[in-house]
Structure 1
Amino acid sequence: MALSYKARRRWALFILLIGMPIYIVVAVTIVNRVDLSALPRLVQFLVYVVLGVAWVLPFKPIFLGIGQADPDAEDQDP
């Protein structure tokens, strides 16, 4: 079942306002427990880049087309 445009917008807003801060706290906590400071800086950088991009991959279908006009709305020409 495909989500409507309005439902995808609502889910995207929820993910950005609630889910992303939770993900950041969890990711930073895990990274601090693993203690990446012993690794070379390039490896640390790559870990942070992967963690920074990984959160969006499961939500890609929700975020696709959100910045465009509602395709289900009727044209509002004056």
Structure 2
Amino acid sequence: MALSYKARRRWSLVILLVGLPVYIGLAWFLLSLFDRPSILLELGIYVALGILWALPFRAIFKGVGQADPDASHDETPGD
């Protein structure tokens, strides 16, 4: 079942405003449980985690920044 454009926009906002801060806090907490690694390894871990969080949500974020494909072409944004 594919999500509509409006549903994908709403879910992307929920993910970015709620899910991402929770994920950042969780990653920060989990990494604080271990001894601090070298700065390059720590940077690599944060970069990998920064990419990893978005992989499951690719379908939701795809095309959200574009114009609504379901809207008629006669309408202008803001009407």
TM over 0.5: yes
1:1-78 matches, within 5 Å, as: 1-35=1-35, 37=36, 39-76=37-74
Deviation at 1:50, TM superposition (A): 0.5
Q: CA RMSD in A?
A: 1.4
Deviation string 1:26-63 (CA, Å, 9 cap, x unpaired) is 0000010122x2x2222111111001111101001100
Distance 1:32 1:66 in 2: 34
Distance 1:40 1:28 in 2: 16
Deviation at 1:76, TM superposition (A): 2.1
Percentage of matched positions with identical amino acids: 53
Query: What amino acid does structure 1 have at the position aligned with 2:27?
Result: A
**What is the aligned length?**
76
Q: Which runs of 5 or more structure 1 residues have no equivalent in the other structure?
A: none
Instruction: Call closer, same or farther: CA 1:13–1:30 in 2, change over 3 Å.
Output: same
Instruction: Call closer, same or farther: CA 1:47–1:73 in 2, change over 3 Å.
Output: same
Query: What amino acid does structure 2 have at the position aligned with 1:16?
Result: L
Q: TM-score normalised to the size of structure 1?
A: 0.90
Q: Which runs of 5 or more structure 2 residues have no equivalent in the other structure?
A: none
Q: Which runs of 4+ in 1 moved over 3 A?
A: none
